[in-house]
Chain A
């Protein structure tokens, strides 16, 4: 039985330009109706879950929910689910949506971990991303959380932002260090099709702007409208690699363990919830667009928030897509998920799948893309940046279609 629960809150004040997660503009009445529906879904699913080790409330912007909705949600969780000792209870919080009272309320109902979507401490970069907050507001948010006495929080950052330099990335990292967070997520900006940022970059690539239009756009940006900066093109890959490399070296130097491609933590502060994904474990998801993995099936709730609420008001489980993970797919998942962890793939576990990994990846090891240590096979520093290519090469070598 899955001991891990994900809850999706699909609301934001405004959607960021790069975001392709399920999220709509926040309004209070919809949020309340949604919380009611969410609680109904949780009750319907209560017997699927075991003793919960983690609850992860992600979004969207979960911290946008009014305190009373949090109260209702946590009451519902406590009344209907069993918990293991000291469960990890994470909420994603965005600067601009938290204050002292809300943070205090969250802790009082049992939240013990916060993941703060800072993304950058540089105002230009925040504008390019279309974030609702300034770097000052981000600092304030982290300070409030830090001062509230909680030690388990993560500062989430993004690198590879158009216009970002190695220096500005260093500044963002050292600013984050000032708050001495026990966890840092550092994600490369991914251009997702269909996002406004994607469209802006692509149109820039196809029609480079005339100097005049750049000038007028600069004026526009100075006027405070987010997003429309002149130099809207992705940093070149060498720079992105340098930023990534810098983060690894710098954070390691500060005593963080690089435990997953994009995640760093001080000893004892790894995110248990996310580790479960990379370990290939089961989990229950609740909320619109939420994913579950139960008894070999990956399920995804409907993305349609109104449909979701309607179904639950009728007392039925919301519509979901379901994919059975057959043997080949299970092996693929096992490989690509475990290789995200810097610890790598357990060869003993691979053998349980009938895989002879050392046999097929000799060349990749000789080239320095993979390395073996003890029972584990993992990506090297050289291999991590081209992990997709190496994973595909492994699939081929294992005869996986």
Chain B
């Protein structure tokens, strides 16, 4: 039975056509009629479709009658397309025996392609190179093949030339999946061993988990155990996505499908966990499980204090479906009651913020993002600091997270990119040519340095051609200090920063200057100071407002005057009151503007 199964995923850089290829495969195999096709079926969240990226993994079963007249079950396991979700990607990849490596014929290999392709190599996946968008005038399939061979060492002599948009190459892809990707090798008789690679909350069914069964079978009524968490559940239903949800009698070794087991919350499911039989457990779990922790944090506060409860409810609802972010209530002197939220990365943070504002109609004030710092206190106790304001005055050691950044860039732009990495305290680890005109560089950088403007600058320096990826290396000791911002003598905790000592004076000056530009004049003078410890390192002031326009009230048009005043007042609503001073929202993000 499992001889007819092929489990595969699609590896591609954003916009290289992963979703369109998936659509074509669904269409060709008749999983969806043309009428049912809505472009990019797998990306079901609006936001995903808008941004053209895949956030959550899904899987779909395709039935394909191959040229050898046999019918095959092809399980397409979708992978998130962004670096923030690289662990989730690795678990999806671990569920497959093969992958399509899709590269845009006009863009060539990009950093993400490479990062995910390396993951696939690590997991011994059979990779099928697909050169997409060959219909474009700028397509250079031969050059693209050369880059793939150079960068990944993958033979491209049989690479499939495709245009998912035009429907070119779809059949060839399907045949290659059947021919080249090996069938799964598990055994039904062994104890149950299934890899959990995705989960989400459904309002009617509770938590749904997606699994790849390696050994054994799982069916309704079976008592299962999550090997990492130890949680035990009873299976209520199993089934597959075709792409519609279809219950089935069982999931056997080699199969991919869903399990519903009365799980209340996605926080009880860990991506990468192994599901086994309570009574006859597997000897060992699937390898590679990691307890992933958020690396990027920011404070989220309702602009209007009475929306606090709504914000909490909204965070709770989002968390139901995304166990990779977390939140804790926090109180800021400046901003009142809010939450400290942790995310896998910056994009993840942007997505959550956007969903909160869009889907829950909340008006949010967010503090600048920060990384998590590891601090060893004088007594030896180790704490993690997610909010710079909470850094204790005295400690033994402070460490910050470092990442290995991989950058792919056409050689013409390499100079300024190296400068950028230097400026960001980077240490070069690798520098190689890929093909004739692309370069791959690797740098070790503090995560903090790539949080803010790194990606934007990389893109602008390279006219959009550079791509990057990063992986977490660990915490390393750094010479860091806390920079406080005082407004009229009061520390505004939400503006505190942890910065590298060498850059602290510069940052303090830049930040106060930026704030001076952002804070509007008001009834009182606003004095902005930057301090390190008790030392003032920069000072700026915004003069008190001297005049409004003394518009006349004339000819009896009173309503107009009232509306003008109301409009002026409305503008103030978006400001946060700190003592007698009002700070606009941008003030809390001013630090992002400091280079």
Contacts and interface: CB of A to CB of B under 8 A. Distances in A.
Interface of A: 6, 8, 21, 58, 187-188, 190, 237-238, 240-241, 244, 261-262, 277-278, 283, 285, 290-293, 298, 300, 323, 329, 332-333, 336-337, 340, 363, 367, 369, 384-393, 395-396
Q: Which of A187, A290, A329, A389 has the most CB of B within 10 A?
A: A389
A392 B569 contact: yes
Nearest to A186: B550
Nearest to A396: B569
A336 B562 CA distance: 8
B514 to A, nearest CB: 22
A188 B550 contact: yes
A6 B562 contact: no
Given A240-B547, A298-B559, A363-B580, 6 more contacts: A277-B553, A291-B555, A323-B559, A386-B546, A387-B550, A391-B565
Nearest to B550: A188
B552 A386 contact: no
Contacts of A387: 548, 550
Contacts of A395: 565, 569
13 contacts: A6-B555, A58-B555, A277-B553, A277-B558, A283-B556, A290-B556, A291-B558, A293-B556, A337-B558, A363-B580, A369-B523, A385-B546, A389-B545
A190 B551 contact: yes
A323 B556 CA distance: 14
A388 B562 contact: no
A210 to B, nearest CB: 28
A388 B556 contact: no
Given A298-B558, A337-B558, A389-B545, A190 B553 contact: no
A363 B568 CA distance: 21
A385 B558 contact: no
B523 A393 contact: yes
Contacts of B568: 388-389, 392
Nearest to B577: A396
Contact of A278 (B522, B548, B553): B553
A237 B546 contact: yes
Given A336-B561, A369-B523, A392 B555 contact: no
A131 B545 CA distance: 32
B553 A292 contact: no
Contacts of B412: none
B562 A386 contact: no
A303 to B, nearest CB: 12
B558 A188 contact: no
Q: Which of B522, B551, B568 has the most CB of A within 10 A?
A: B551
Contacts of A21: 555
How big is the B interface, by class? 20 to 34
B549 A190 contact: yes
B3 interface: no
8 cross-chain pairs, A with B, having the tightest CB-CB distances, nearest first: A385-B547, A291-B556, A388-B548, A392-B569, A188-B550, A190-B551, A298-B559, A237-B547
B179 to A, nearest CB: 64
Contacts of B565: 332, 336, 388, 391-392, 395
A187 B562 contact: no
B553 A340 contact: yes
Contacts of B552: 187, 190, 262
A329 B522 CA distance: 25
A241 to B, nearest CB: 6
Interface of B: 522-524, 545-553, 555-559, 561-562, 564-566, 568-569, 572, 580
Contacts of B569: 392, 395-396
Contacts of A298: 558-559
Nearest to A321: B559
A393 B582 CA distance: 12
Given A277-B558, A391-B565, A188 B549 contact: yes
Nearest to B551: A190
Contact of A300 (B522, B546, B547, B557): B557
Contacts of A385: 546-548, 550
Given A385-B547, A385-B548, A392-B568, A8 B555 contact: yes
Contacts of B555: 6, 8, 21, 58, 290-291
A247 to B, nearest CB: 12
Given A58-B555, A337-B553, A392-B569, A332 B547 contact: no
Contacts of B548: 385-389
Given A336-B565, A395-B565, A262 B559 contact: no
B38 to A, nearest CB: 43
Contacts of A277: 553, 556, 558
A6 B556 contact: yes
Contacts of A363: 580
Q: Which of B547, B551, B569 has the most CB of A within 10 A?
A: B547
A134 to B, nearest CB: 25
Contacts of A392: 565, 568-569, 572
Contacts of B551: 188, 190
A386 B550 CA distance: 8
Contacts of A388: 548-549, 564-565, 568
A300 B549 CA distance: 24
A190 B550 CA distance: 8
A390 B523 contact: yes
Given A293-B556, A340-B553, A238 B546 contact: yes
